């Protein structure tokens, strides 16, 4: 598949709602294009976890059925999917009749895998029981309560990322609710909770928080923003192990939750946070 330029995507343009199932609505964006000029550290693991809260179709009697979709897209897929096109595609199921949910699950898997260029893991969750919808904060020690002065940075400041003095070897899980970046097409804000797990020389917490806040005007897709944070922490602080995980707030019934790590973790939380 050869993705069109982003200017041809539906993002930022008035688009009529679909009236029938239409997989051609999915708009791919080549990851290679979005990573142009950026080199990720070797042996990076990761995925983008999408949650869809507006998934619906009709059963064979015409009764509406609702569900929550969860889609895990490998970070090494050829393409990511533009979010508005994803929403339009999911909405194209709204008035279609299906005998059972497995048909939809298979269609979702086939369509998304074809566009991404790698197998996409598809889950469909019932809106009941309630425990499937419980909110859980990201695990870790918050760095947000530090009483610091902040410069009015208009661009990211990786130079804020420094080691503490002294810098003993530690294992830490740090979290912040202050990550904000912006859509590169519409300029709309993207808000996220951020978790950073690492093992290595202790990273200065004040500098880390200043760095996160310096991204406040940065324009980049969710997935690339997490890769930027991962790459700059790795380059500046050289931890032996590192995981960066962001859970972005919902837009248009979708939230995107990318993670990147130096190893394959066993415990990536799929629970939504309070702001999601």
Please identify every residue annotated as catalytic: 183, 190
First-to-last alpha carbon distance for the chain, in angstroms, is: 33
> Distance between CA atoms of 162 and 130, rounded to whole angstroms?
43
- The structure tokens listed for 78 are 């050829």
- CA 170 vs CA 166, 203, 233: distances in Å: 12, 9, 15
CA atoms within 13 A on the CB side of 11: 21
Q: Are 176 and 194 in contact (CB under 8 A)?
A: yes
In 10 A of CB 66, how many CB atoms?
A: 11
Question: SS3 for 210?
Answer: helix
Q: How far is CA 197 from the centre of its chain?
A: 17
**Residue closest to 253 by CA, chosen among 93, 31, 36, 146:** 93
CA atoms within 13 A on the CB side of 26: 22
């Amino acid at each position: 598949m050869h993705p069109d330029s982003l200017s041809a995507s539906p993002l930022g343009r008035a688009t009529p709602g679909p009236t029938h199932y239409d997989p051609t609505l999915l708009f791919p964006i080549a990851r290679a294009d979005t990573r142009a000029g950026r080199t990720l550290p070797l042996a990076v693991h990761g995925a983008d976890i999408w949650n869809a809260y507006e998934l619906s179709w009709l059963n064979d009697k015409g009764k509406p059925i609702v569900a929550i979709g969860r889609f895990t897209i490998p970070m090494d897929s050829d393409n990511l999917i533009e979010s508005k096109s994803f929403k339009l595609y999911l909405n194209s199921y709204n008035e279609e009749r299906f005998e059972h949910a497995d048909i939809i699950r298979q269609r979702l898997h086939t369509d998304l895998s074809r566009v991404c260029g790698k197998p996409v893991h598809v889950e469909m969750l019932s809106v009941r029981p309630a425990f499937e919808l419980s909110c859980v904060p990201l695990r870790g020690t918050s760095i947000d309560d530090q009483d610091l002065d902040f410069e009015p940075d208009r661009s990211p400041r990786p130079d804020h990322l420094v080691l503490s003095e002294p810098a003993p070897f530690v294992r830490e899980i740090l979290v912040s609710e202050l990550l904000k970046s912006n859509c590169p097409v519409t300029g709309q804000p993207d808000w996220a909770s951020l978790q950073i797990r690492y093992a290595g020389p202790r990273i200065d917490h004040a500098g880390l928080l200043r760095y996160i806040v310096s991204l406040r005007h940065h324009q980049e897709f969710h997935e690339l923003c997490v890769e930027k944070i991962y790459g700059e922490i790795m380059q500046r602080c050289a931890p032996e192990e590192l995981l960066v995980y962001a859970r972005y707030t919902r837009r248009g019934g979708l939230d995107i939750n990318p993670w990147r790590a130096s190893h394959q973790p066993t415990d990536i939380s799929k629970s939504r946070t309070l702001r999601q």
